[in-house]
Structure 1
Amino acid sequence: MSLQRIRRERLRVGMLAGTMAALLVAWMMVAVSAQAAAGCRVAYAISAQWPGGFTANVDVTNLGDPINGWSLAWAFPSGQRVTQGWNATVTSAGSQTTAVNASYNAAIATNATVSFGFNGSWTGSNTAPTSFALNGVTCTGGVGGTSPPTASVSPTASPTVSPSVPPTTPPPSGNPMATVAAMQPGWNLGNTLDAIPDETAWGNPLTTQALLRHVRSQGYNSIRLPITWSNHHGAAPSYTLDPAWLNRVRQIVDWSLAEGFYVMVNLHHDSWQWINTYPTDQANVTNRYRALWTQITAAFRNHSPKLVFESINEPQFAGTSGDDQNYQVLRDLNAEFVRIVRASGGTNATRLLVLPTLYTNADQGRLDALTAEFNQLRDPNLAATVHFYGFWPFSVNIAGFTRYNAEVEQDLVGTFDRVHSTFVSRGIPVIIGEWALLNWDHNRPGVIERGEFLKFLEAVGHHARIRNLTTMVWDAGQFLNRNELRWRDQGVYDMFRTSWTTRSGTASSDQVYVPRTGTITSKSLTLNLNGTSLQGLRHGGTNLVNGTDYTVAGNTLTLTAAAVTRLVGNRAYGVNSTIEARFSQGVPWQISIISHDPPTQAAASGTTASFAIPTQFRGDQLATMEARYADGSNAGPANWTSYKEFWTHFQPDYNANTIILKPEFFAEVNDGAVTLTFHFWSGAQTTYRITRSGTTVTGTT
């Protein structure tokens, strides 16, 4: 049984009992209001059709007295069947079909309209129904039921394609698994529309259609537009959106749709600016939340179904008693979001809606709480979203986690396994709405070693793909240079792209360090084949010779001393050459041949606000730093570990030949002596002693 079928059956079982109760309520309502003026108009439209299936939208306008509780009945002329409905409970008995209101759209004022929709199946032909009855009264387009039927029906042609042809693209509305699958892979326009106070405030240029076209050309199928609205609307109670801002958002949405993207918009930093006060300011937050989503849904009511709404980015709440209350208030807001969007009609009636876990975290408790929301909402066109920024010590380089090791991978696998088993295996699609490593940034080089980052990228692509998770990389400008429309590191993008479809081989390192003086020996690396096979090594346009330049024994690749001698050239400090390990599939693995000597350091003096250690790196690169007091206890911030956080607590400056100790480091260092141990990627270590006295700092080797 397919995942979609499982999900439909799960929803249908819950709906049947509710249908009988709702029908009884509707019958009683008709009986006691028989003397009320009655009349209605129905617009039935087929919005999508494919071999054997279709999507229909139904607008019901009440022309009589107000009603509270409704049931719409009709008969399909060609034996069609409803397979899945939304905004109403839709059931069939023979050729007769009945739609009963949902809890949030039971009331229909005079001249008001409610909308619902459904997916259906057909064989032979798909002739639209022409007669509808609302609460037992035939809808004629007038009051009293004397006029001829006026149901508005969109023209429907008989299918002209073979039943063997797959469904059209995009997938029909109401099929969230197919929609989310079609969104893979995705890209975030980060630090732009979400920037405070405006689009360019956080360093990115104005968004252009050329940028969006370029991103689309790079293979991305969806784009997430994080949007902060709080700086772009008026005061209570209307919270009227700034027309210029709304038009700018609409322009970027329209450009994105024109380029063929699926587009996801949300309330972004609003989450911590004001939504987080919901527990202690429920009325004001609810009114503001309603006002914003009401205006947003109205603005995009008739936009393409490829536009997707996400309720809140990284929801978080202040002043709660704990997670149980956090889950409840998030449930309240998500339910309000779904109600507002669905009630707005148009394409919004069937639009894919995305709901986050608390903090968009993937701990099991967060996932279970969102599962309970899905069970309560019983809306067939929802998706779940979480964020993933990797194992935290590795993502910021603290506690000695400089490498993509088994513990880092297990964190990834465990996260993706949980979201798959909780949601995807039950027919609920999942979007990893943001992912990357926290501190990978072109402005902070060296925090994460490049080869270790590439291994992470390769693994994310693989483990997400085999679990049917859609990923949307967070790019705030650290990957794509938006001014030049080029990737800051082509190899990083190549790994992104390749991981969408296949695995790549890697190795234990992308660096081979060779001493600048002395005898040159052979050098070995361990291959991570990832299901591939090594095809050979290449330097420039020349293939290296197996047996002469290198050997392979199992997963061990060894460069011969003769090959290393040739590749290291004149042994000048730094990278002297780069070779590629080529595998049977995926991107080649680049290996830098680096000449080095052990780094040296010198005495220094300064203050806690400005202190730098003179360092001759001599071809080497800094990996991490430890700090301990004289008694061996851990010194400085994060004193649960001796290894400090790269760039936040210390930073190499290769151009100035220094290692900077940050004020954030000294903020938690006691007066007295501290021993620093610097670890370099060659395996070399240096030991340095600093002594703090108030704001004065001295250092010696």
Structure 2
Amino acid sequence: MNNRIKRFASAFLAISLVVGLLIPALGGASIAQAEPANPLQKTVEAMEPGWNLGNTFEASGDETSWGNPTVTKEQIQAIKDQGYRTIRIPVTWNHRLGEGPNYEIQPEFLSRIHEVVDWSLDSGLTVILNIHHDSHWMMNMENERDTVMIKYTALWKQIATSFKDYPHTLFFEAVNEPRFSEDWNEDRPVYFEMVDQLNSTFHKIVRESGGNNKTRPLVMEGVTASHSQARLDELYKTITKLNDPNVIATIHYYGLYTFSVNAAGATTFDDAAKKDITDTFDRTYETFVARGIPVIIGEFGLLGFDKSVETLEYGEILKYFEYVTHYAHEKKMPTILWDNGQHFDRTNLTWKNPAFHEVMKASLNGRSSNSQSDSIYLRQGDELQDVTIPMNLNGNTLKEIKAGDRVLAAGTDYVLDGEQLTLKKELLRSLLTDQLGTNATLALTFSYGAGWNVHLIQYTTATTRNVEGGSRDLFIIPVKFNGDRLEKIEATYAAGGNAGPDSWTPFLEFGKSFQPEYENNLITLTKPFLEQLKDGDVQFKLYFWSGATLEYKMTVAGDLINGFSPEMEAAATASPAATATASPTDAASPTVQPDSTDKEEGNQALIYWISGAVLALIVLSAGVVLYRKKNRK
């Protein structure tokens, strides 16, 4: 799915959630929790966990054009060996079709899909095969209904016929996230009617194609695979009209929008993010499962992963994965992880972030434990005190805490009182070094579930510097992080109003408007953020995970942007000599004013370093842009 459209879609879903609470669903509020018997329900429940072979056969070129390696039998077997039971194979068929009206699928491509489906079935996986980004050519269905339906019919007739003798462990999915305009927010009656036509036509084609297709499990979704009540209700109407016990409903879930992309200051898996999960899954369960229609969550993850798995703080991602997987399991709806290559390394056949996998796997049979935060920030030089961390034990007991090979002693090194874990100051003193940053990692294990790490981080207050000669193409805020890490940024105009592409909030979106680079001690403000700025003063407030905050100011005049650090301005007032700076270079290489307190860093070394960093950023940014254009869902 396109990243920008997904953000619009998720924003709409957040709004529709609130509307769904105010306007009772079609009988949804009074539905009993007793589910009518449907043998397919047990089959569906046995499909968890599931994994998407993303950014592969749905890519706009060949299967490697979006950055993933060629699919191999070993990759498929590795997914099975990791405990996965289902593989969803998204396929875009459009650029593999001949001319109309037959729209013949290229024989070599169809053979390749057969090969991967065969590998998957032979490994013991259940397979979901769909038509994926073909939904793009359906967008104009309102004006070209006959043309779209001829192509859609021809495509599904070929797929159904080709796989009709395959076992029932192969499922067909009608279409991925169907939509009919760039605006995902509209619930026009004609949109519901067109999705109904697509699903009903798909059902008729498959059932009439014979073989095992007469009773093959079929998967259908509503407009955009949305979980808004209105769209769930319309999909329910279609499925009940078909009167077929072998039809499954599906939705996609990417979390509360603001949390999912790290926007509007939503940086933690808080009560709002948790409520979005429970409301969504309750709504979906009551509409379908409680009425005897199984549900598959065909895609789930976080929208921020389209930029980086570091869009959100690591521990908050783990808490999200733990709760999504747990609650979906409680509601008997299997989840299928969206993986476009950022999770499972398909070359080395290992997890890039093993903790993600472990917490999701454990959540299928119970709860994992965690803490309010996975980091403890200690200011260097402050007198040490005992530190208490609120825990979420989720019914488990703490078994052990280790710092490296050292097993900590309960009662001496730490005390657990209910769900309050206190680390003793003597322990902290023994673990701290003279270095800034992570000094130690405490590994907690529990009576059940995945382990949990708590990082001890030593820091001093971060500092910023002045910048001269920035432009709307490039501006960096030099930040000496001093062991601290950036949580969020607030940007407002001194004259009033929010600065940034999302004017509804003063907080900037991670990756969209800014990106911290800890190794290089800078924060890059993106071109989309810079281009939309109005002339005048922009006030920034930088929030750090330690709880510290810093002010920063930018002055924008046409294409010229200068940055001002309050601490440097204060130092300049106290000592005018401290303001000496090299002459500005061109706009592409802003000059950073030196900090007179950093005696170990010469002015020329700093200028050379910044210039090199800027050039590297320009090259890197160009590469990222080209990569993202190819590597989107």
Q: TM-score of the superposition, structure 1-length normalised?
A: 0.74
Distance 1:469 1:444 in 2: 27
Say which SS state the counterpart of residue 372 (structure 1) adopts.
Answer: helix
Paired AA for residue 689 in structure 1? K
Superposition deviation, residue 535 in structure 1:
2.7
Say which SS state the counterpart of residue 587 (structure 1) adopts.
Answer: coil
Match of 2:420 in 1: 556
Q: Are residues 656 and 524 of structure 1, via their aligned partners in 2, closer, same or farther at CA, if it must alter by over 3 Å?
A: same
Asked if 1:663 is matched to 2:512, the reply is no
Q: Is the 8 A contact 1:507 1:527 kept in 2?
A: yes
Asked if 1:285 is matched to 2:315, the reply is no
Q: Are residues 613 and 290 of structure 1, via their aligned partners in 2, closer, same or farther at CA, if it must alter by over 3 Å?
A: same
Say which SS state the counterpart of residue 102 (structure 2) adopts.
Answer: coil
Superposition deviation, residue 359 in structure 1:
0.7
Q: Is the 8 A contact 1:367 1:419 kept in 2?
A: yes
Match of 1:381 in 2: 246
Q: 2:121 aligns with which of 254, 257, 261?
A: 257
Match of 2:445 in 1: 582
Match of 2:368 in 1: 504
Distance 2:489 2:295 in 1: 38
Q: Is the 8 A contact 1:691 1:697 kept in 2?
A: yes
Please give the residue correspondences for 1:181-580 in structure 2 after superposition, counting only pairs within 5 Å.
181-272=45-136, 274-318=137-181, 322-440=187-305, 444=308, 446-568=310-432, 570-580=433-443
Q: Is the 8 A contact 2:35 2:290 kept in 1?
A: no
Distance 1:658 1:354 in 2: 47
Distance 2:387 2:182 in 1: 58
Match of 1:672 in 2: 536
Asked if 1:624 is matched to 2:502, the reply is no
Say which SS state the counterpart of residue 438 (structure 2) adopts.
Answer: strand
Superposition deviation, residue 554 in structure 1:
2.6
Distance 2:215 2:310 in 1: 46
Structure number with the bigger relative contact order (C-alpha 8 A, sep ≥ 6) is: 2
Say which SS state the counterpart of residue 386 (structure 1) adopts.
Answer: strand
Q: Is the 8 A contact 2:121 2:169 kept in 1?
A: yes
Superposition deviation, residue 7 in structure 1:
5.2
Distance 1:540 1:297 in 2: 56
Distance 1:341 1:545 in 2: 63
Q: Deviations over 1:115-169 (max 9, x none)?
A: xxxxxxxxxxxxxxxxxxxxxxxxxxxxxxxxxxxxxxxxxxxxxxxxxxxxxxx
Superposition deviation, residue 319 in structure 1:
9.6
Q: Is the 8 A contact 1:277 1:319 kept in 2?
A: no
Q: Deviations over 1:224-243 (max 9, x none)?
A: 00000011001111101111
Q: Are residues 503 and 322 of structure 1, via their aligned partners in 2, closer, same or farther at CA, if it must alter by over 3 Å?
A: closer
Q: Is the 8 A contact 1:505 1:587 kept in 2?
A: yes
Greater gyration radius: 1
Distance 1:360 1:445 in 2: 23
Say which SS state the counterpart of residue 440 (structure 1) adopts.
Answer: helix
Paired AA for residue 613 in structure 1? I
Paired AA for residue 348 in structure 1? N
Distance 1:182 1:505 in 2: 25
Q: Is the 8 A contact 2:495 2:537 kept in 1?
A: no
Distance 2:341 2:309 in 1: 14
Q: Is the 8 A contact 2:326 2:364 kept in 1?
A: yes
Q: How many residues align?
A: 531
Distance 2:217 2:505 in 1: 45
Q: Are residues 269 and 563 of structure 1, via their aligned partners in 2, closer, same or farther at CA, if it must alter by over 3 Å?
A: same
Superposition deviation, residue 390 in structure 1:
0.3
**C-alpha root-mean-square deviation of aligned residues, in Å?**
1.7
Say which SS state the counterpart of residue 141 (structure 2) adopts.
Answer: helix
Q: Deviations over 1:608-651 (max 9, x none)?
A: 11111111111111111100111342112111111010011000
Asked if 1:6 is matched to 2:47, the reply is no
Q: Is the 8 A contact 1:391 1:411 kept in 2?
A: yes
Distance 1:424 1:497 in 2: 23
Q: TM-score of the superposition, structure 2-length normalised?
A: 0.82
Q: Are residues 492 and 318 of structure 1, via their aligned partners in 2, closer, same or farther at CA, if it must alter by over 3 Å?
A: closer
Distance 1:285 1:382 in 2: 23
Q: Deviations over 1:662-685 (max 9, x none)?
A: 111123211010011111111111
Asked if 1:645 is matched to 2:487, the reply is no
Q: Deviations over 1:384-427 (max 9, x none)?
A: 00000000000000111000000000000000001111111111
Q: Is the 8 A contact 1:7 1:426 kept in 2?
A: no
Q: Is the 8 A contact 2:178 2:223 kept in 1?
A: yes
Match of 1:30 in 2: none
Q: 1:689 aligns with which of 553, 561, 568?
A: 553
Q: Is the 8 A contact 1:608 1:696 kept in 2?
A: yes
Paired AA for residue 590 in structure 1? N
Q: Are residues 499 and 571 of structure 1, via their aligned partners in 2, closer, same or farther at CA, if it must alter by over 3 Å?
A: farther
Distance 1:550 1:650 in 2: 39
Superposition deviation, residue 544 in structure 1:
1.2
Q: Deviations over 1:335-391 (max 9, x none)?
A: 000000000000111100000021111011111101100111111100000000000
Q: Deviations over 1:55-99 (max 9, x none)?
A: xxxxxxxxxxxxxxxxxxxxxxxxxxxxxxxxxxxxxxxxxxxxx
Superposition deviation, residue 445 in structure 1:
5.2
Q: Are residues 694 and 388 of structure 1, via their aligned partners in 2, closer, same or farther at CA, if it must alter by over 3 Å?
A: same
Paired AA for residue 355 in structure 2? G
Q: Is the 8 A contact 2:53 2:88 kept in 1?
A: yes
Match of 2:29 in 1: none
Q: Is the 8 A contact 2:309 2:342 kept in 1?
A: no
Say which SS state the counterpart of residue 198 (structure 1) adopts.
Answer: coil
Distance 1:575 1:694 in 2: 42
Distance 1:179 1:467 in 2: 15
Q: Are residues 563 and 300 of structure 1, via their aligned partners in 2, closer, same or farther at CA, if it must alter by over 3 Å?
A: same
Q: Deviations over 1:207-262 (max 9, x none)?
A: 00100010000000000000000110011111011111111111110111111110
Structure 1 alignment gaps of length 5 or more: 9-174
Say which SS state the counterpart of residue 304 (structure 2) adopts.
Answer: coil
User: Which has the higher mean CA deviation after the structures are superposed, 380-389 or 493-502?
Assistant: 493-502
Q: Runs of at least 4 residues of structure 1 off by over 4 A?
A: 2-5, 319-322
Say which SS state the counterpart of residue 439 (structure 1) adopts.
Answer: helix
Q: Deviations over 1:269-305 (max 9, x none)?
A: 0112x01211110111000000000000111010111
Superposition deviation, residue 6 in structure 1:
2.7
Say which SS state the counterpart of residue 283 (structure 1) adopts.
Answer: helix
